[in-house]
Amino acid sequence: MAGAVVAPTASATSGGAGQDREMRGAVIAAERAAKAGIDWQDCPADWGLEKPIQCGYVTVPLDYARPHGKQIKIAVDRIGNTGTKKERQGALVYNPGGPGGSGLRFPRRVTTKAPLWAKTAKAYDFVGFDPRGVGHSAPISCMDPQEFVKAPKADPVPDTEADKLAQIKLAREYADGCYERSGEMLPYMTTPNTVRDLDVIRAALGEKKLNYLGVSYGTYIGAVYGTLFPGHVRRMIVDSVVNPSREKIWYQANLDQDVAFEGRWKDWQDWVAANDATFHLGTTRAAVQAKWLDLRATAKKSPLGGVVGPAELISFFQSAPYYDSAWIPVATVFSKYVAGDTQALIDAASPDMSDLAGNASAENGNAVYTAVECTDAKWPTSWRTWNRDNTRLHKNHPFMTWANAWMNLPCATWPVKQQTPVDVKTKKRLPGVLIVQSEHDAATPYEGAVALHKRFKGSRLITEKDAGSHGVTGLVNPCVNDRVDAYLLTGKLDSRDVTCAPHATPKP
């Protein structure tokens, strides 16, 4: 077990005295965790994880600069490799993104027999975890969950200065609520701390080196882990990449997202128009957009079913630019609405006030998202900056811009010290990392994958051309799937970067 602890390389600790202390704290916490291991048990019934998945906890310091101070528990789960002892290559640890996403469902890829992961499951235990603040890992909260999901909310696109002032007030109240409800955790809700937690999990699993799969925000966790703990990486796949540039984390990254969402929204509208025989929403992108604007205006005037206004519509429709798997469901509901059936849309876009657990989970996810992004980096504090940038961007990218602005505005009045992001780059002993990215990804624009590729020398980039779904490794595309398997099973990377044809477009 002691072999599971490797001191971080000296170069990993060159971030000032504070980071040196935290890195030393991480070594102490990892040594403790390696000795303690994980007390694996059947998962609690209400976690929704069937046998033979097992659950446990790993203890980590709240503040790595004080490794012997207050501790929190990180929830983990696992399923053993499906192959022989000889075939086993260790644990594969997963993060699905967010910030605020839970990875605990990852072992269910084995219990549900997900075909894409069958070969990898033979070689690896599949391990998931709730990052700090999420779910079962010292969860944080910023407001009453029922209040958080209540609808209808104000139209994110402001008509007047009064509309903007109302949103500014809500954002400030939200930031204050985070501090009131979760103030003790907030200063430590950062990506580098989640990365240190990940290294402690590695040690607790008895693994000398980490095998890691990160999607979306999980790629930023991977990028920072590779920078702070380069000698601890065995295999790492990052899929749909957050741009790790210090200049992008996090204010500029969100503005870049607005541009990419508009592009992918248009891709979806083109597809809807091409399938007019099924959806009857118009034979051109302009015709589909006109129907969207009409729906938006109707819901603004009088929320559908009293609950679905423009804000709720954006929340529902944005899943189409996010994921190709949502193209048909979203278009079908839209089509029914235009044909006179409004109930399908009301059902799809309304909160379920009776789903207390689901609503608590949604509020918790948003709290973690906000806490991590606001604490990780400096944000503009002047409303003039936010107003200028979002007004300018909204002109040509109206689908998401203002909705995204209000979601992030609590960071302008964040009540705890904002950090400086890690300078992501190659350090000695970092092995080749596999980067996977679709060309038109809305949530994590393509430039992010290129930026990480440049920073991680020896990495390889697989580009899924003319595609835009978020989370490529979960889609059927043999050009991608075979390389993911080969890398995880043998460590093999192509001699150069690879461009793959797109996965199949949804067929209605």
Q: CA–CA separation, 54 vs 44, rounded Å?
A: 9
Q: Tell me whether residue 503 is one of the annotated catalytic residues.
A: no
Name the nearest CA neighbour of 232 among 29, 456, 430.
430
Report DSSP state, residue 504: P
Q: Tell me whether residue 216 is one of the annotated catalytic residues.
A: yes
Q: Tell me whether residue 68 is one of the annotated catalytic residues.
A: no
List, in order, residues 6 or more apart from 353 with CB less than 8 Å away. Answer: 146, 149, 150, 359
Q: CA–CA separation, 334 vs 354, rounded Å?
A: 25
DSSP string, 33-96: HHHH----EEPPGGG---TT-EEEEEEEESSTTSTTS-EEEEEEEEE--SS-TTT--EEEEEE-
Q: One of 438, 441, 453, 469 is an active-site residue; which one?
A: 441
Residue type, 64: Y
Three-class DSSP category at 343: helix
Q: One of 102, 141, 216, 350 is an active-site residue; which one?
A: 216
Residue type, 174: Y
List, in order, residues 6 or more apart from 151 with CB less than 8 Å away. Answer: 303, 307, 308, 309, 311, 312, 350, 351
Q: By the 8 A CB rule, do 77 and 40 touch?
A: no
Q: Are strands 210-215 and 90-95 parallel, antiparallel or unpaired?
A: parallel
Q: One of 394, 470, 485, 503 is an active-site residue; which one?
A: 470
What are the catalytic residues?
216, 441, 470
